[in-house]
């Protein structure tokens, strides 16, 4: 793989076997020759925001290296969501799988299809807590703050509960997802 870009990806699910959907997403990334997962966060359970009449989410963050461009990676994540039966009926509504590109290197990307850093990530504890776990020394030039500063501002705003410690390669060896 050439041109290794460092990417942080948020993975969430609140329908069906939530853990299996998280594993499916990570396994799909792992099996792609243009992607290498380098770190996994723990899995956190969180209450929904926005549209609240739905089940709790399982959320995690992965760090990966990829040769994909931002739009190629977006296309890949959308295909994985579609293959998991993702439907887009209600904004912030229930979903089998939600994959969001949080950071792509230290780039600021503004396109019709993609905005990086993810536009709402700094407001969401369910993103910042696992992201901080994966990389506790991140600095965000776009807002001139460290991950710790963002974490201190957010930690009491949303209910984010540790659900499962980090998983890794062994979780995929016997996964049927």
Q: What DSSP string runs through 85-153?
A: T---SSTT---S-EEEEEEETT--EE-SS-EES-TTGGG-HHHHHHHHHH-TT-EETTTTEEHHHHHHH
Q: How far is CA 133 from CA 57, 102, 149, 163, in A?
A: 18, 14, 14, 14
Q: Which of the residues are catalytic? A: 86, 95, 98, 100
Cα 143 to chain centroid, rounded: 20
CA-based angle 84:132:78, to the nearest 5? 20
Torsion angle of the four alpha carbons 167, 71, 84, 159, in this order, in degrees rounded to the nearest 10: 50
């Amino acid at each position: 793989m050439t041109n290794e870009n460092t990417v942080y990806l948020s993975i969430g699910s609140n329908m069906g076997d939530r853990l299996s959907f998280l594993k499916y997403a990570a396994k799909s990334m792992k099996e792609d020759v243009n992607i290498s997962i380098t770190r996994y966060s723990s899995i956190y359970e969180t209450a929904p925001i926005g549209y609240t009449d739905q089940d709790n989410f399982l959320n995690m963050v992965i760090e990966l290296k990829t040769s994909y461009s931002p739009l190629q990676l977006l296309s890949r994540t959308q295909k994985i969501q579609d293959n998991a039966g993702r439907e887009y009926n209600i904004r912030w509504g229930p979903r089998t799988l939600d994959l969001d590109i949080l950071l792509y290197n230290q780039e600021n990307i503004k396109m019709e299809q993609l905005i990086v850093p993810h536009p709402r990530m700094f407001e969401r504890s369910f993103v910042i807590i696992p992201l901080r776990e994966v990389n506790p020394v991140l600095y965000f030039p776009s807002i001139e703050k460290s991950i710790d500063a963002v974490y201190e501002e957010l930690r009491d705003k949303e209910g984010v509960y540790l659900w499962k410690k980090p998983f890794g390669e062994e979780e995929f060896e016997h996964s049927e997802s």
